[in-house]
Amino acid sequence: MPQSGRKEKTMVKKKHIPAIRITIAAFFMALNIVMSSFGIPVPGGHLYLCDAVICLAALLLNPFEAFIVGGVGSFLGDMLFYPTPMFVSLVTHGLQAVVISLIAHKTLKNHPKLASGIAVTVGAVIMVVGYTLGKTFVYSTFEYAMIKLPYEIAQGALGAVFGMMLCWRYGVKNLFDRYLGNEQ
C-alpha cells in the first residue's frame, strides 16, 4: 500500500509540472517586461537589464518557453514603453533565447556550466548583431547604429554575466531542478 501512495504523489506532481512551467515562463516574461521598461542611465544612453532575465530564463527553460520569455516579453515591453524597435526585439531576443536554451541543454551535457557560458556568449553576440542591424533598418542610418554599438555590447555582456551568476552562483538552477526535475 505505501508504494501505491508514493506512486500517486509522483503522478500528481508530474501532472502539475506543465502548469508550473507555464507559471514560471509567465513570471520571467513579466520580469522581462519590467526590466525593459527602464534603464540604467550611462553617458550617452541607457543599459537595460532585460538581457539578464532572458539569459537566466533561457538557461532554465526549454527553447519554446525561452522564446516566449525573450521574444514575446521584449516585444510587449517595447510595445508598452518604446514601440519603434518592438519587432527587432521580438526577433533578436527571441532568437537569442532559443539559441541559448538549445546550446545550454543540448551540448556538453557533462559540463553544464561550460555549456551555459558558451550559450550566453553566443546569445550576447546574437543580441549585439541583431540590434545593430535592426537599428540600421528601423532608423535608416548606419551611423546611429554604430553610435549605440558600445551600449549594445555592454548590455549583452552584463546580461550574460548576471544571467550566469544568478543561475549558477546564486543557486537558481538548483532551485529550479529541485522543484521541477531535469525535464525539458
Every domain of the chain and the residues it spans: 2-180
pLDDT band (50, 70, 90) for residue 9: very low
Compute the distance between CA of residue 115 and CA of residue 31 in angstroms, rounded to an integer: 24
Alpha-helix runs per DSSP H in 68-85: 73-81
pLDDT band (50, 70, 90) for residue 153: very high
Judged against a pLDDT cut of 80, whether residue 159 lies above it is answered with: yes
Amino acid at position 22, single letter: I
pLDDT band (50, 70, 90) for residue 8: very low
Mean pLDDT, to the nearest integer, of 122-149? 89
Q: Which of 100, 74, 102 is nearest to 86 (CA)?
A: 74
User: pTM for the whole thing?
Assistant: 0.86
What's the pLDDT tens digit per position in 62-92?
A: 999 999 999 999 999 999 988 888 999 999 9
Judged against a pLDDT cut of 90, whether residue 135 lies above it is answered with: no
More confidently predicted of 4 and 135: 135
CATH of region 2-180: 1.10.1760.20
CA 89 vs CA 51, 66, 71: distances in Å: 11, 14, 6
Judged against a pLDDT cut of 70, whether residue 154 lies above it is answered with: yes
Judged against a pLDDT cut of 70, whether residue 11 lies above it is answered with: no
Mean pLDDT, to the nearest integer, of 156-166? 95
